[in-house]
Amino acid sequence: MRPESFEFLQKYLNNPSPTGFEKEGQKLWLDYIKPYIDEYFVDTYGTVVGVINPEAKYKVVIEAHADEISYFVNYITKEGYLYLRRNGGSDPLVAPSKRVNIHTSKGIVKAVFGWPAIHVRKVEQDKAPTIETVFLDCGASSADEVAEMGIHVGSVVTFEDEFTVLNERFYVGRALDNRVGGFMIAEVARMLKENGKTLPFGLYVVNAVQEEIGLRGAEMIAHRINPDVAIITDVTHDSQSPMYDKKTAGDISCGKGPVITYGPAVQNNLRDLIIKTAEDTEIPFQRAAATRATGTDTDAFAYSGSGVASALISLPLKYMHTTVETVHKDDVENVTKLIYESLLRIEDGHDFRYFS
């Protein structure tokens, strides 16, 4: 990875962008992608779209989502402790002893997830932490002191963990789901520009908001763009680490390449074009099967309007929705390359219908 790209990746991942409050991360992303696009627009809720060839009638989307899971302050005790609600699929099981940032109009307030010491618990009766039992300690001794800090019900809370590299092969941090996707589609736009590639269609590079609470940003922007084709990238579960059941999770591994999904929302001809692209360019890939839905923004695009030929290229990831989400750097490179090469094989007016 070139140094400038790696610097952006770190900066972008370290910046908090909780669901519904993605603005600052979106600004970073837009600043990075601006040299590689012709124009851009931002919708009402913060989805950012960079456009190449905006006058073209045929429209192709490449998309990732920008938001990360987080918490809202929900209740403040008279002693100054904070209880929370989840914003997206936050996992209270990983919360105890973690450090967090509380976002206020006065700036960041530091806090920790407290937990009773092992000495005073009846360990044999321990139960897993839940959203009802985890709490934050911001160093205050009263509700009034909490208020003076600028904290109130509705204040957003994110983990403060930042990007690291593990054994020179893995990128680790919070919110790789799915800002690493935003990084990859931005790199595709850069590669098209720097390699002098002219596409025969309009390309819409979409960094969507609010995926973590139901694909909402993608729903909105799909109706606005009304594309003909959409290639979505998100993360999927590496199933090699302990406690995964391959019979249900599939056999997916970090380091073995992009994951191409089969499922009702995935348009077969577009998927096959992507597979053929991978085979022709010798990009390693894996396969996965979805059930009724992929659970990603693919579903929102596929079923928008009169139907959009959509496909999903996933990045294998360990430890999803924790603060140590982990991906292999080779997979990041190969997902980026596969999206790039697939775009070069889509024609103007490409008809993906199964028959006519």
State the burial class of residue 104 (Cβ atoms within 10 Å of its Cβ: 0-12, 13-18, 19+): middle
- What's the N-to-C CA distance of the chain in angstroms? 43
| Joined tokens for residue 18 | 């909780």
Cα separation values, 208 from 200, 205, 221, 317, 318, Å:
24, 10, 8, 20, 23
Alpha-carbon span 292 to 284, nearest angstrom: 26
Q: Could you list the active site residues?
A: 211
Alpha-helical segments (H) within the chain: 3-14, 23-33, 143-148, 176-194, 216-225, 246-249, 268-281, 297-302, 329-343
The strand pair at 59-65 and 202-208 is best described as: parallel
- The secondary structure of 255-280 as a DSSP string is TS--EEEESTTS-HHHHHHHHHHHHH
Cα separation values, 165 from 6, 28, 171, 207, Å:
11, 21, 5, 24
- Give ∠ CA 154-157-158 in degrees, rounded to 5: 150
Alpha-helical segments (H) within 101-156: 143-148
